[in-house]
Amino acid sequence: MTGDDCRQPLRRHGIARLSRADRDAGRTVWDADLGGRKLVVDQIAVGEADAPERMAGVLGIAPGERLCTRSRRYSLDGKPVLLATSYLSADLVAGTPITWENPGPGGIYARLADLGCAPVRFREEVRARMPSPEEAGRLGLGSGTPVVLVARTAYTGDGRAVEVNEMVLDSAAYILEYDFPA
């Protein structure tokens, strides 16, 4: 790998990365994006928190009910590029591998399928802003570097939201690609 490879943005394939066939084969959402590069989770925290009103509304639970939280920092070629926090109903995932640091092959979407709650549809909202001081520090961003926010919600076949993933991306590290039929 040359020094230029470290500066090459990661192409985030917004639709292909959420393929059910890939999950069923035990691949993660990252397998569609990496092209042989090394992306690692270098920080992870799994815990519980009270659901704020906004998150409770999306997940269809009462404000204050418990959420399982999965917060991760991802580094590409040794540089932090992404902060991600997943929120799921604690009642839904209690006692399952979703509450472990490593939920196993196929990630949490495969484990949701094991629970009979397989995501069949996703919705992403994308926007940009300047990072908070904490985000800038955790991502090692210089002043003036914006972040891209991606909020993804995973839905079951009956329309139930089972996960919200809020991501903060270093804007210089990503190209967001969406390829879909007309």
Encode the chain (182 residues) as per-residue pLDDT tens digits.
Answer: 333 344 677 766 655 545 455 545 555 555 555 556 678 899 999 999 999 999 999 999 999 999 999 999 999 888 999 999 999 999 999 999 999 999 998 899 999 999 999 999 999 999 999 999 999 999 999 889 999 999 999 999 999 999 999 999 999 988 888 777 77
Tally of CB atoms within 10 A around 92: 18
pTM of the model: 0.82
pLDDT, tens digit, 9 for 90 and up, residues 83-131: 999 999 999 999 999 999 999 988 999 999 999 999 999 999 999 999 9
Residue 81 in tokens:
């590029």
Question: Token digits for 148?
Answer: 């891209």
Strand stretches in 31-95, DSSP E: 39-50, 66-76, 79-89
Pick the CATH number of 3-177 from 3.40.1410.10, 3.30.2290.10, 3.30.9.10, 3.30.465.10: 3.40.1410.10
**Domain map (residue ranges) of the chain:** 3-177
Cα–Cα dist 140/114, whole Å: 37
